[in-house]
Amino acid sequence: MSLSIKQENFCNYYVESGNASDAYRRAYSCKGKSDNTVWVEASRLANNPKVALRISELRSEMQRRSDITKDEAVGILADIARANIVDALEIKSNEMFTTIVVKDVSALPIGVQRAILSVKSTDKGYELKLYNKIDAIEKLSKLLGWDASEQKDIIGEGKNDSITIQIIDKRGDVVDADTNY
């Protein structure tokens, strides 16, 4: 399948923006054309079988490159939650001074590398920041369903019964308790 350079550009711009008219304007000269004319020509081009196939190929390739599995996401979040900043630092001491130095980041284990948010040079040395462990744990909890609550309804036998309703998460922790319903 051979497309012209402008058709190939249209396909790339269309996949990038998701808008056929914008892609058409970027790939072709539209000087003097009305918005309606651009829309008609862009629609016609997008529906051309060769162009439509190329757009589909580009989308599939982009999706393949950007796919991340749930297991990968869990692994990255687990690395962040487990990371210890000391693993990225080297502590050097002598009789007078203790110096803390950031290790060569490329030599760190991948789990520690994944947990690093930033490394920047300051006037006092290097500043190392890790991603927030609490945020990672909360995201893991949601992803794995640990934070889903269960609601238990308790029905009393009489009108004046005092009832306690508790919402308990999957770990068995009480999330909310209300009395006297």
Q: Are strands 89-93 and 164-169 parallel, antiparallel or unpaired?
A: unpaired
Count of helix runs (H) and strand runs (E) in the chain: 7, 7
pLDDT the model gives residue 117: 92
On whether the CB atoms of residues 1 and 51 are closer than 8 A, the answer is: no
What CA–CA distance (Å, rounded) separates 53 from 128?
47
Spatial separation of the C-alpha atoms in residues 162 and 179, rounded to whole Å: 7
Q: Give the pLDDT confidence of 111-162 residue by residue, as tens digits.
A: 999 999 998 888 877 888 999 999 999 999 888 888 766 555 555 555 555 5
Q: How many residues does this entry show for the chain?
A: 181
Domain ranges of the chain: 5-66, 72-135
What's the CA angle centered on 56, arms 51 and 59, to 5 degrees? 125
Below-50 pLDDT ranges, the chain: 179-181
